[in-house]
Amino acid sequence: MLSSITAATDLISPVLVDHHKKVSFVAATIGKTLGLDEHSLRRLILAAAVHDIGGLSIKTRVQTFEFELTDPDRHTLPGYSLLSGFEPFADLAKIIRFHHVYWQDGQGTMDRGKDVPLLSHLVHLSDRIAVQLAPNREILNQKKDIVQRITTESGEMFVPDQVEAFLEVAGKEVFWLDLVSPSVNTILQQRFPLGGMDLDRGELLDLAEMFRRVIDFRSRFTATHSSGVSAVAVALANHSGFKKDDPDRMKIAGLMHDIGKLVVPPEILEKRQGLTSEDLAIIYKHPYYTAEILRGIEAFDDIGLWGSLHHERLDGTGYPYKKAAEEIPEGARILSVADTFTALMEDRPYRCGVSASSTDRIMRDMAAYHKLDEDFVGLLYENAEEINDKRYEAQTAADQTHRHFLEESRLLDNYLEADDRCPVNR
């Protein structure tokens, strides 16, 4: 799943094509040469696979192609903050936190009073190897320059032992050919199988919440969205008796339904006016990528299905599958109602939330015109006050979490700076 997430995020920019996969591959190969034990190798590969996850918003965008970054905290701190909330990933968070610290003849074992894991240095080295790849030149002709650049920085930017191991690896053409192969991910997975991860119920919910933050925190306009959708969807499921035996399903589905939005660049999420047809073409892809990212995670089969169908409409006018009526399962209908309701009530870059009475009218019209499921819209309004309160509470709590995230990432100026914020709509 991590690998499909990073594959999706790598789609945002052609510059980033396969960046995370490549860094993982380089790190794994060097790590193996260094003789890392299986546990460390696994942590290394996972950390490398998501190392720039904090660089997905406008304010934290990574200037990937510069060899020396001026302000790496901008993306390493958010990355740390996003992952550290999920206990099983706390140690990955630490590796990511320091993945741009220089070695400086050993001073780099510490950074501002904190221990820097050696694996952070290895991610750094692997990352700086990967950013030098020029897509339009023959790879075997790039080898010499890259090796030279890295060697010059041994001891200063990079750990000498790790550079040594890299040189050993770099001597073989096959390393470079694997690295730029379109199958690099398959090669990585076959050569370094990671196995699965057993999660109990609480951890599964925490994992979903972690992904929710990765999805939502890219923009302040989406920062609380999936929490609201989840709360409304759960309330609708409870009132209708849907999936009574497994109440967490709908909660997770609500948190994850927009995971495909990772393919939408933050510039588009934050546009104040005039979405172009190019922008819309990108936005229309997101439910497709929700399915794509969740594919292959057996435990999330129905969650991926519902999520990928949350923009379908009963009359067949939705997107992208153009399904209609009976082809749209109940879980997806609930999500559509919850998503539409929440989206209307919350702020967009170009407007504050729509009033409760207008939302009411729009929702009822959409049910009457056979866009949204009548029964679920009915349930929503039979329990309007209760459900809206739940949405409000969930979004207010998520707003606090977002604030805390910005604080921890030292991006709080963005929060305060935005004094044109609308209050969470009631």
Which tokens hold the place of 202?
């609480």
| Minimal distance, residue 346 CB to Fe ion, in Å | 10
- Do the Cβ atoms of 43 and 91 come closer than 8 Å? yes
C-alpha distances (whole Å) from 84 to each of 16, 52, 111, 154, 217 are 24, 14, 18, 30, 15
Nearer to Fe ion, 72 or 388 (CB): 72
Nearer to Fe ion, 127 or 292 (CB): 127
Nearer to Fe ion, 336 or 401 (CB): 336
| Minimal distance, residue 214 CB to Fe ion, in Å | 15
Residues across the chain = 426
Q: Which residue ranges make up the site for Fe ion (CB under 5 A)?
A: 52, 127, 258, 339
The SS3 call for residue 389 is helix
| Minimal distance, residue 55 CB to Fe ion, in Å | 7
Nearer to Fe ion, 127 or 346 (CB): 127
| Minimal distance, residue 72 CB to Fe ion, in Å | 6
Distance CA 52, CA 56 (A): 8
Backbone angles phi, psi at 120, to 5 degrees: -60, -40
| Minimal distance, residue 298 CB to Fe ion, in Å | 24
| Minimal distance, residue 359 CB to Fe ion, in Å | 15
| Minimal distance, residue 97 CB to Fe ion, in Å | 11
Cβ count near 379 (within 10 Å): 20
Nearer to Fe ion, 302 or 339 (CB): 339
Which tokens hold the place of 52?
């720039």
Distance CA 165, CA 383 (A): 63
Nearer to Fe ion, 133 or 167 (CB): 133
CA 232, distance to chain mean position in Å, is: 22
Which residue in the block uniquely carries the two structure tokens 């495909």?
Answer: 260
Which tokens hold the place of 254?
């609500």
Nearer to Fe ion, 73 or 374 (CB): 73
Which residue in the block uniquely carries the two structure tokens 């709360």?
Answer: 231
CA atoms within 13 A of residue 192's CA, in its CB half-sphere: 26
The SS3 call for residue 136 is coil
